[in-house]
Chains A and B, each alone.
Chain A
Amino acid sequence: MSAGHIVLAIALSSFLWPCVAQSQTSAPSQASIEQEVLKVEAERDEAMRKADMPVLSRIYADNVIIVNTRGRALTKEQRLADFQSGDLKFLSFDQGDYSFHVYGDTVILNGRANSVVQFHGKVNRIPRKFTLTYMKLNGEWRLVAQNETLMDQPQ
Chain B
Amino acid sequence: MQNSEYRYMTKVRDAALLAFMVLGVICSVFAQDSTKHESDAQTQKEILAVDNERYEAMKNRDMAAMDRLHADGLVFINTKGRMLNKAEYLEEVRSGALKFLSVETDDYHFYTYGDTVIMSGRAKSVVEYHGLVNKKPRRFTSVFIKMQGQWRLVAHQATLIADE
Report which A residues bind B (CB closer than 8 A).
2-4, 7-8, 11, 63, 65, 67-73, 99, 101, 103, 105-106, 108, 110, 127-131, 133, 135, 137, 144-153, 155
Q: List 9 A-B contacts (CB under 8 A).
A: A3-B14, A71-B137, A105-B116, A106-B116, A108-B75, A129-B157, A131-B75, A144-B111, A152-B80
A145 touching B139, Cβ below 8 Å: no
Closest approach, in angstroms, between the C-beta of A13 and any C-beta of chain B?
14
CA distance A152 to B82 in the complex (A): 8
B157 touching A149, Cβ below 8 Å: yes
A101 touching B75, Cβ below 8 Å: yes
| B79 partner residues in chain A, CB cutoff 8 A | 149, 155
A147 touching B141, Cβ below 8 Å: yes
Report which B residues bind A (CB closer than 8 A).
10-11, 13-14, 17-18, 21, 73, 75, 77-83, 109, 111, 113-114, 116, 118, 120, 129, 132, 134, 136-141, 143, 145, 147, 154-155, 157-164
| B160 partner residues in chain A, CB cutoff 8 A | 71, 149, 153, 155
B74: nearest chain-A partner, CB-CB? A101
Contact partner of B155 among A11, A105, A108, CB < 8 A? A108
B116 touching A73, Cβ below 8 Å: no
Contact partner of A147 among B14, B73, B77, B109, CB < 8 A? B77
A67 touching B163, Cβ below 8 Å: no
B81 touching A153, Cβ below 8 Å: yes
